[in-house]
Amino acid sequence: MKIAVPRETAAAESRVAATPDTVKRLVAQGATVVIETAAGKTAMIPDADYQAFGAQIAPDRTATLKDADVVLTVRRPNADTLADMASGTLLIGSLDPFGHEAEIAAIAKQGVSAFSMEFMPRITRAQSMDVLSSQANLAGYQAVIEAATAYGRAMPMMMTAAGTVPAARVFIMGAGVAGLQAIATARRLGAVVTATDVRPAAKEQVESLGAKFIAVEDDEFKQAETSGGYAKEMSEDYRKKQAELVASHIAKQDIVITTALIPGRPAPKLVNSAMLSSMKPGSVVVDLAAERGGNVEGTVPGEVATVSDVTVIGYENMAGRIPASASALYAKNLFTFLETMIDKESKTLKPNWDDELLKATCLTRDGAVVHPAFAPKQPET
Amino acid sequence: MKIAVPRETAAAESRVAATPDTVKRLVAQGATVVIETAAGKTAMIPDADYQAFGAQIAPDRTATLKDADVVLTVRRPNADTLADMASGTLLIGSLDPFGHEAEIAAIAKQGVSAFSMEFMPRITRAQSMDVLSSQANLAGYQAVIEAATAYGRAMPMMMTAAGTVPAARVFIMGAGVAGLQAIATARRLGAVVTATDVRPAAKEQVESLGAKFIAVEDDEFKQAETSGGYAKEMSEDYRKKQAELVASHIAKQDIVITTALIPGRPAPKLVNSAMLSSMKPGSVVVDLAAERGGNVEGTVPGEVATVSDVTVIGYENMAGRIPASASALYAKNLFTFLETMIDKESKTLKPNWDDELLKATCLTRDGAVVHPAFAPKQPET
């Protein structure tokens, strides 16, 4: 059982799909683990650290992938990498299939069985395999750190002999995994934190982290709040009142962090240019949905832009900006999933194709695109 | 009484010597305040904000300085700016005179009476005028923010479904104003913080902020600790033991921040290249003494260097990287000092040249260099 980890080829990708910790665990399960030289360099993992835990280091991609039974990646492999993979290989990574149907078809054609980690079901058993959560958590943390660096003022209140520096006002839009970690981090740094979410039920979580929930709390809201769970659609009248409240709230904020990222879909616009120009010069907006076009009007994906004297941070891979921690959790997610396919007795690969986790994540098998979200469509060429 | 604030000319200087708040206070004292256009831009203060509090905006430096009674600056003015200042003008700023004797002589020759804020006595009355403290405090904060950004891991411990991210280990060398704020900020972010200082008496302050003091706590240390205040010199034997302890401690740290900056003197070397190479790849060192050559072997003043896979941050003007807060406190320091020279009744400038604050800070007067630290020497040309 050979498990291969090639170096990521995307320029913006600093993460790696295995760590010394997961290497050790895989070796304990009977695997031979081969890491392409320098694969961990940008995630601060020297080759020697992999070797110390039992990995072999291969000098190039071709040698890494030769005879591999499983290939672990962060991103969808490029065409050259795919060409080095033999028919029958299992590929596990964040394959970002939406809008890339042709590339998925090419994986099928190569005979590779590909699993896209983004499709992991959100069930208890798969929590430890949830790459979206593990990376969103770190993206939420890093968003606050980036905002603090770009912001020309201190985050905490400071009482000094020369006067008081007021605490920064930070507004988090979206209280999912990234938003909740952003709230916690901004609170740690001493900011005055507010947050909002389309789900009234998020109010309780936001408040439990010490932030104030921003919402029009009318009867409709209160009913939706207690009904719990995922949102029923709020009325148009409510949404209009809420939008007005949010717009007037943003004008008073120093830092806004937007987190409305839905994989495979364009990001909803939450902050328009009128809201940006209502903010004080030097304010900072971090758009965690930049890779899907952004929640903010004026976001330049991959860059830091200035709009109406407001700094708009649009990095596309925020988790990749904290690559060592992000790789540690991502690699662990992959290991935990791969472990379900390893037979403990024989120490060999025995994927149970009827397992709901495999079914939900498998994109290609036996030369065909098999995932229900992609199979029926005609692959683009 | 005209008070002028020219735009800073040094490329790395983002701060400004007045804010809308200090403008308002000066106007209330009967002053006319003239700000050069865009002087506050890099500190996030638009011209309009100054105007709203009673300042006039001048279109260029010459118009700003014409007929000024007092000129407020962050840095020592360059030759062009000085040439625009009339004889008899008071200049108040951080004039960094050590090693710049020729420039100070030129100020004297111009007939300008210059006050160097770095020489403010450290007495209770002058606490609110202490630019070294106000800027060091923010430098200590910003050092941790920069370290967090450069560090590829999270600072706080995070317990997630995919495993635990350990807390970063942060070591602060020097527990002065900058070091104490760095300790507080790193603690806020959830790091495990240790600190050291040549003064055993600093132990108590370090511990009061929740950090561990790193010192060889033998009898000599314990005696020095209770004797309090500034350090008596420790024995050579003690210093050797302490250096060994620090070296072995650094090898286990993720982030080291050095703060041993003494104005006008070369920075002591605290971290050598052997210590850097003992740290894990991806560790971060922030050298707050870079402007004086650095506490760290390998610091490149003004830049971010990589030494033995360790990121060494050597920004020369760390307070300038948080320019809005730094300007707010700096401007307040200057205002408070200038206020002592204004006669409240007549609303005119009446400096009391016998005041100990003026005596301590005055470099030049009536065409001569008058400060005891500079006057006896022959000015270099």
pLDDT in tens, A156-186: 999 999 999 999 999 999 999 999 999 999 9
Active-site residue, from B56, B127, B128, B308: B127
- Helices B323-339 and B131-150: crossing angle in degrees, nearest 10, is 180
Q: Which two tokens stand for residue A170?
A: 């930070």
User: How far is Cα B372 from Cα B363, in angstroms, rounded to an integer?
Assistant: 8
Contact state of A154 with B328 under an 8 Å Cβ cutoff? no
Measure A145 CA to nearest chain B CA, in Å.
Answer: 6
Average pLDDT for B289-313: 96
Interface test with A, best of B165, B284, B286 (most A CBs within 10 A): B165
Identify the bridge partners of residue B116 per DSSP, sorted by sequence position.
Answer: B93
Q: Place B185 in a pLDDT band, splitting at 50, 70 and 90.
A: very high
Asked if A243 contacts A225 with a C-beta cutoff of 8 angstroms, the reply is no
Residues near B259 by beta carbon (within 8 Å), at least 6 away in sequence: B136, B140, B143, B172, B173, B174, B176, B178, B179, B182, B288, B289, B295
Average pLDDT for A63-70: 98
Q: Which two tokens stand for residue A226?
A: 């207690």
Longest CA span, chain B: 72
Which residue in the set B161, B190, B328 is minimally distant from A165, CB to CB? B328
User: How far is Cα A25 from Cα A18, in angstroms, rounded to an integer?
Assistant: 10
Query: CA-nearest residue of chain B to A48?
Result: B281
Chain-centroid distance, C-alpha B115: 17
Interface test with B, best of A19, A22, A45, A325 (most B CBs within 10 A): A325
Percent over 90 (pLDDT), chain B? 89
If you search the block for the tokens 């006057």, which residue do you land on?
A: B375
What is the reported pLDDT for A86? 97
Which residue in the set B133, B134, B154 is minimally distant from A141, CB to CB? B154
Which residue in the set B134, B146, B158 is minimally distant from A160, CB to CB? B134
Which residue in the set B14, B165, B325 is minimally distant from A165, CB to CB? B325
What is the reported pLDDT for A229? 53
| A107, pLDDT greater than 70 | yes
| B380, pLDDT greater than 60 | no
Query: CB B47: neighbour CB atoms within 10 A?
Result: 16
Q: Which two tokens stand for residue B94?
A: 């951080």
Contact state of B329 with A160 under an 8 Å Cβ cutoff? yes
User: How far is Cα A251 from Cα A277, in angstroms, rounded to an integer?
Assistant: 8
Residues near B170 by beta carbon (within 8 Å), at least 6 away in sequence: B144, B147, B155, B186, B191, B192, B193, B194, B253, B254, B255, B256, B257
Render pLDDT for B12-39 as a digit per residue (tens, 0 to 9). 899 999 999 999 999 999 999 999 999 9
User: How far is Cα B125 from Cα A177, in angstroms, rounded to an integer?
Assistant: 50
What is the reported pLDDT for A264? 77
| A22, pLDDT greater than 70 | yes
Residues near B195 by beta carbon (within 8 Å), at least 6 away in sequence: B171, B172, B173, B174, B175, B179, B183, B202, B206, B211, B212, B213, B214
User: How far is Cα A259 from Cα A289, in angstroms, rounded to an integer?
Assistant: 6
Q: Is A349 helix (H, G, I), strand (E, B) or coil?
A: strand
Query: CA-nearest residue of chain B to A129?
Result: B162
Average pLDDT for B271-286: 97
Render pLDDT for B165-184 as a digit per residue (tens, 0 to 9). 999 999 999 999 999 999 99
Average pLDDT for A103-117: 97
Percent over 70 (pLDDT), chain B? 97
| A230, pLDDT greater than 90 | no
Q: Which two tokens stand for residue A268?
A: 């909803």
What is the reported pLDDT for A378? 54
Asked if A24 contacts A332 with a C-beta cutoff of 8 angstroms, the reply is no
Query: CA-nearest residue of chain A to B323?
Result: A152
Mean pLDDT (chain A, rounded): 94
Render pLDDT for B92-109 as a digit per residue (tens, 0 to 9). 999 999 999 999 999 999
What is the reported pLDDT for B222? 87
Which residue in the set B43, B128, B152 is minimally distant from A323, CB to CB? B152
Render pLDDT for B321-361 as a digit per residue (tens, 0 to 9). 999 999 999 999 999 999 999 999 999 999 999 999 999 99
What are phi and psi for residue B134, nearest 5 degrees?
Answer: -65, -35
Q: Is A91 helix (H, G, I), strand (E, B) or coil?
A: strand
Q: Is A108 helix (H, G, I), strand (E, B) or coil?
A: helix
What is the reported pLDDT for A376? 56
Q: Place B376 in a pLDDT band, splitting at 50, 70 and 90.
A: low
User: How far is Cα A27 from Cα A33, in angstroms, rounded to an integer?
Assistant: 7
| B377, pLDDT greater than 70 | no
Asked if A325 contacts A313 with a C-beta cutoff of 8 angstroms, the reply is no
Q: Place B63 in a pLDDT band, splitting at 50, 70 and 90.
A: very high
Mean pLDDT (chain B, rounded): 94
User: How far is Cα A152 from Cα B334, in angstroms, rounded to an integer?
Assistant: 20
Q: Place B11 in a pLDDT band, splitting at 50, 70 and 90.
A: confident
Contact state of A149 with B145 under an 8 Å Cβ cutoff? yes
Query: CB B278: neighbour CB atoms within 10 A?
Result: 17
Which carries the bigger pLDDT value, residue A11 or residue B92?
B92
> N- to C-terminal Cα distance for chain A?
34
B-chain residues near A14 (CB < 8 A): 152
> Which amino acid is present at A204?
E
CA-based nearest residue to A319, from A144, A143, A73, A116: A143
Contact state of A309 with B158 under an 8 Å Cβ cutoff? no
User: How far is Cα B104 from Cα B95, in angstroms, rounded to an integer?
Assistant: 8
A-chain residues near B129 (CB < 8 A): 162
User: How far is Cα B190 from Cα B156, in angstroms, rounded to an integer?
Assistant: 4
Residues near A262 by beta carbon (within 8 Å), at least 6 away in sequence: A268, A292
Q: Place A155 in a pLDDT band, splitting at 50, 70 and 90.
A: very high
Q: Which two tokens stand for residue A261?
A: 């990222």
CA-based nearest residue to B140, from B104, B191, B183, B105: B183
Asked if A286 contacts A147 with a C-beta cutoff of 8 angstroms, the reply is yes
B-chain residues near A323 (CB < 8 A): 152
In angstroms, what CA-CA distances link A114 with A33, A89, A93, A123, A368? 19, 8, 8, 21, 10
In angstroms, what CA-CA distances link B342 with B70, B345, B347? 11, 9, 6
Percent over 90 (pLDDT), chain A? 89
Query: CA-nearest residue of chain B to A132?
Result: B162
Average pLDDT for B218-240: 79
What is the reported pLDDT for B179? 98
| B231, pLDDT greater than 70 | no
User: How far is Cα A237 from Cα A242, in angstroms, rounded to an integer?
Assistant: 9
Quote the ipTM score.
Answer: 0.93
Q: Is A335 helix (H, G, I), strand (E, B) or coil?
A: helix
If you search the block for the tokens 């040094």, which residue do you land on?
A: B10
Per-residue 3-state assignment (H helix, E strand, C coil) for chain B: CEEEECCCCCCCCCCCCCCHHHHHHHHHCCCEEEEECCCCHHHCCCHHHHHHCCCEEECCHHHHHCCCCEEEEEECCCHHHHHCCCCCCEEEEECCCCCCHHHHHHHHHCCCEEEEHHHCCCCHHHHHHCHHHHHHHHHHHHHHHHHHHHCCCCCCCEEECCEEECCCEEEEECCCHHHHHHHHHHHHCCCEEEEECCCCCHHHHHHHCCCEECCCCCHHHHHHHHHCCCCCCCCHHHHHHHHHHHHHHHCCCCEEEECCCCCCCCCCCCECHHHHHHCCCCCEEEECCHHHCCCECCCCCCCEEEECCEEEECCCCCHHHCHHHHHHHHHHHHHHHHHCCEECCCCEECCCCCCHHHHHHEEEECCEECCCCCCCCCCCC
Dihedral of alpha carbons B278, B279, B284, B286, sign: negative
Helices (H), A112-235: 131-150, 177-188, 202-208, 219-227
Average pLDDT for A109-137: 97
Render pLDDT for A253-299 as a digit per residue (tens, 0 to 9). 999 999 998 877 899 999 999 999 999 999 999 999 999 999 999 99
Average pLDDT for B295-313: 96
Active site residues of A: 122, 127, 130, 133, 230
Q: Which two tokens stand for residue B11?
A: 């490329």
User: How far is Cα A356 from Cα B359, in angstroms, rounded to an integer?
Assistant: 81
Q: Is A295 helix (H, G, I), strand (E, B) or coil?
A: coil
Measure A223 CA to nearest chain B CA, in Å.
Answer: 32
Query: CB A145: neighbour CB atoms within 10 A?
Result: 27
User: How far is Cα A181 from Cα B89, in angstroms, rounded to an integer?
Assistant: 54
Edge-to-edge strand list for the sheet holding B32-36: B56-58, B32-36, B2-5, B70-75, B90-94, B113-116, B362-365, B368-369
| A380, pLDDT greater than 80 | no
